[in-house]
Amino acid sequence: MGRIIAMAGKGGTGKTTLSALIIRCIKEKKLGSVLAIDADPNSNLGEALGVRDGENIGRILDSICSNPDKVPAGMAKERFIQHQVQSAIQEEEGFDILSMGKPEGPGCYCYVNNLLRGVIAGLVKNYDYIVIDNEAGLEHLSRRTSRFADTLIVVSDASSVGLKSAKRIIDLVKQLKFEVKKSFLLINRFNKNIDNEKIKETGLDYLGSLPNEAEIENLSLQGKSIFELGENAQVFKTLNLLGEQIWERN
């Protein structure tokens, strides 16, 4: 069975960049096959990984809703959609990626979430690692986009607002009784020590903090991928040190 690593956090904390960094680490360590799932309708994970824009679940559903005759006679609609989703998985060097996208049709969004859960359940046995970059905030949890994760990483900044948001996320995870084996708080873009009491208040195990990395911002401004980040970048070194707790399979 594949190991599911799910990312969560409020907007602007660098969640997508960290998802891409984790995928890069797993790939370069040759730990196994990786499926990246961009579950954020804004679909930025592919760009961070240097992947061309391809098909996504939202566009597939829109196309089928607009042209119902596309479903072959004698084939159930759900099975046809599953087949189309499978074909939307892009094979890249060292990882595959599937993008959720955002459908335009009314009432389709919940259907996408239901479909995504089914896709994840079906694909989990085909990959060693599944890294899910969820959308910012709490809505995806309320819609139960991700019901299970081996590792949940809640990304936050060091601000009071960010840490309170992290606490709300883990509180909702517990309230909705998600199956999460390990849940961590990861502080991004922070070069100092943080108050242990503030960490305890979140209810999350503290994974550590990652330093602010100017090179990442420069790469983003130039439209370059995380794979062009230098191996000596401090954020990359630090994540590798913390990483065993993220991707260990025990």
Q: What average pLDDT is seen over the chain?
A: 83
Tally of residues, the chain = 250
Question: What is the number of structural domains in the chain?
Answer: 1
Q: Which amino acid is at 106?
A: P
CATH of the domain at 218: 3.40.50.300
pTM strictly above 0.85 = yes
Q: For residue 139, is pLDDT > 60?
A: no
Q: List the domain range (segments joined by +) for residue 16.
A: 3-247
Mean pLDDT of 80-101: 87
Say if CB 99 and CB 43 are below 8 A apart. yes
| Per-residue pLDDT, 93 | 92
Q: What three-state secondary structure class fits 208?
A: strand
CA gap 144, 117 in Å, rounded: 8
Q: Which residues of 29-47 are buried (b: 16+ CB within 10 A; e: fewer)?
A: eebeebbbbbbbbebbbbb
Mean pLDDT of 94-101: 89
Q: Quickly state the pLDDT bin for 239 (edges 50, 70, 90).
A: very high
CA gap 145, 150 in Å, rounded: 15
Mean pLDDT of 26-32: 94
Say if CB 61 and CB 103 are below 8 A apart. yes
What is the number of alpha carbons within 13 Å of residue 229 lying toward its C-beta?
Answer: 28
| Per-residue pLDDT, 62 | 78
Say if CB 64 and CB 77 are below 8 A apart. yes
Q: Quickly state the pLDDT bin for 33 (edges 50, 70, 90).
A: very high
- What does the pLDDT look like over 60-90, one tens digit per residue? 877 777 777 788 888 877 788 778 888 889 9
Mean pLDDT of 40-64: 83
